[in-house]
Chain A
Amino acid sequence: MPRALILALLLCCATARAETIMVSNEKDNTITVLDGGTLKLVRTVKVGERPRGIVLSRDGRHLYVCVGDSDRIDVVDTTTWRVVRHLPSGSDPERAALHPDGRRLFVANEDDNMVTVVDVDRGLVLQEIPVGVEPEGLGLSPDGRYVVNTSETTSMAHVIEVDSGKIVANVLVGARPRFALWEPDGKRFWVSSEIGGTLTLIGADDWRALGEVRFSIPGVPAEAVQPVGMVLSGDGTKLFVALGPANRVAVVDVASRQVERMLLVGQRVWNLALSTDGTRVFTTNGVSNDLSMIDIQAMRVLRSVPVGQAPWGVVVKP
């Protein structure tokens, strides 16, 4: 076969589903790298201890990994798949979110009640913002003006103005809030409460709770319904919510706030990511040690593949 043809074939198939899925494995200190099309294992990258939150750089060339027990951020090069740098993070980083400027990384320090702002270019801590007990969730508004942090034991969403680093509102939500997610127009954001078993929708004009979503699943104890990770469909009309030990992902219609479906995935589903083309949702299942793939059009779970031990975060790189 002529070399040009081989190259063309490679290019064609590479572009069809070129995306790469990365999963942090909390209990074996690795990142699992999967091919987004085939879900085949590409490689396993060793990182620091207890990797949880993971975030891609704007250009996709680096993956920032919160390695909580190593008290730092590991920077993984997504072409060589090596840890190329460490960033300071403050103590016990759990989750991080990157500002739209691509430079300021907001890190939740779970064991010392802080949000640390890190300059990823210079490798410096810019600021430490005191928040509630066990901060975790971090949601940046689309315009980059606000970052919402949830603190688990304080049960609040803290709205932080990015430029001043000041907290402008503290909104009480259900017990043990884990995740904050803005809608694309930047007018409202959602907070999931793991022990409360609820979602709270909060408006950005006055930081008031606009409503709540609750879940009930026949045959599943109410205590097992524990919302954690969330992702919006590409068009922003459907909200996917990981329900933890209920082993299901709920599909919520954003306009009506009705729970439309429950999709059975793996055990203890933690976090979610949307595929680049917006057609699929990937889930990390912390107890069954696998990743499930949901087809949004069909509203079905297509398949699950094994990853590392206690998979936690997931991101998709185009």
Chain B
Amino acid sequence: MAIPLARRAVLAATLLPLAAAAQAAPLPIGYLSLRPPRPVASTLIEPPPADEGVQGARLGLADNATTGRFTGQSFTLGERRAEEPEAALEALRALLATGIRLVVADLPAELLLQAAAEPGAVLLNIAAPDDALRNADCRRNILHVLPSRAMLADALAQYLAVKRWRNIFLAVGPAPGDLLYAEAVRRAARKFGLRIVLDKPWTHEPGAQRTDTGHMSIAAEAARFTQGAPAYDILVVADEGGTWGDSLAWRTTDPRPVAGTQGLTPTIWSPVHEQWGATQLQRRFRAQAGRPMTPLDQAAWLALRAVGEGAVRAGTTDPARIVAFLRSPAFELAGFKGARLSFRDWDGQLRQPVLLAAPRALVAVSPQPGFQHRFSELDTLGTDRPETQCRAP
């Protein structure tokens, strides 16, 4: 159908000719991360990069700068990193004092809420997948770039429903995030007609698995853990810290695949993803950072690109007007996942496809074909408008 002059066309027209655009003052964007010293990783092969996240933001900044050349807009990134929560809040205050309003936040949920209470801050959440932040604890001044746990769990559950792998053995770690991940899996199972036939906490202390003969004790533990389970199709693990989830595959009593936080993983991004032009982004990132792009890098890149796209489309570097535009139906972002991304107006969550990735192969992308929605298939993932408990926006 022809639209004589849609909104975008009008916008484009008012911006023309861009070549003659005057140079506006740079838009400063903050980047704040809490990076406490990490627990021992379960493997040597992927030591967590020290610059995880911020490299994604830097690439997003470079992409924005290229576009900004043509609109007369420029962007700067103020990077702050803290090891303690209180130091992170101080760093945020320092950023705000320089006039920065938009801050990309690599912070856990509790600290994110404290940060949101600082006057003047608009936060782009790239690290806290907590569903509470999209519901009862939602805030007007937080936009969520990374998928919520509910979105991840729904993405996996849709795939299991399509495969008719309906009976789940859920193994839940002791960390607070593991409990929340497991809760999201339980909710997703109810939503998509799956059964959790066994819901069992994993309590084994994994410390010795990398010492000599450690593999034998972990194998015995995994066999004991999975012995006598009712018939199940797939073992879903909730181990966000990645300390024990990899210990279960190949060691279960019954031969069953593993999914969840390890094995077949629902995720915002994976180094195996190369569709919809993702190859280009993966290469640009590798060239800059010298390592593959992680989910946190991807979320940080998206956060920068959202701000850049908002600035270009709304024709402004005023933070308040950019945020208003990001929340409007006119905003759309290309994110190399074959669908336009936009923010849900009921909870500020970026609607997006979720990858289901194995360590060396992309297995599927949710929403799965056939899960329909009257507004957008992407809204079959996570908390939908009728269910939201968010009252802030």
Contact = CB atoms under 8 A, between A and B. Distances in A.
B280 A110 contact: yes
Interface residues of B, number: 40
B179 interface: no
Which residue, B8, B12, B69, has most C-beta atoms of chain A within 10 A? B12
Contacts of A200: 8-9, 12
Contacts of A226: 338
Contacts of A207: 16-17
Interface string A179-219: 00000000000000011111010000011111111111000
Contacts of B67: 132-133, 151, 153-156
Contact of B2 (A154, A158, A257): A257
27 contacts: A111-B280, A132-B67, A133-B67, A134-B280, A153-B67, A154-B63, A169-B16, A170-B19, A170-B71, A171-B16, A171-B18, A172-B313, A173-B12, A174-B332, A175-B309, A175-B333, A175-B340, A196-B332, A208-B16, A209-B8, A209-B9, A211-B4, A213-B1, A214-B6, A215-B1, A223-B377, A259-B2
B9 A195 contact: no
A212 B7 CA distance: 10
A74 interface: no
B376 interface: yes
B47 to A, nearest CB: 27
- The secondary structure that dominates the B interface is helix
B9 A152 contact: no
Contacts of A210: 9
Interface of A: 110-111, 113, 130, 132-134, 151-156, 158, 167-176, 194-198, 200, 206-216, 221-223, 226, 245, 256-259
A189 to B, nearest CB: 14
B309 to A, nearest CB: 8
Contact of B332 (A167, A172, A195, A258): A195
Interface string B58-83: 00000100110111000000000000
Contacts of B277: 134, 152, 176
Given A152-B334, A172-B312, A175-B332, A212 B280 contact: no
A171 B12 contact: yes
B9 A168 contact: no
B2 A211 contact: yes
Given A214-B1, A223-B340, A170 B332 contact: no
Given A111-B280, A156-B70, A214-B3, A197 B340 contact: yes
Contacts of B3: 211-214
Interface in B323-364: 332-334, 338-340
B19 A208 contact: no
A174 B8 contact: yes
B2 A213 contact: yes
Nearest to B312: A172
A133 B66 contact: yes
Given A110-B280, A156-B67, A176 B334 contact: yes
Given A168-B19, A213-B3, 14 more contacts: A111-B284, A133-B67, A169-B18, A171-B16, A171-B18, A173-B12, A175-B334, A195-B340, A196-B332, A200-B12, A209-B9, A221-B376, A223-B378, A245-B338
B373 to A, nearest CB: 9
A130 B15 CA distance: 20
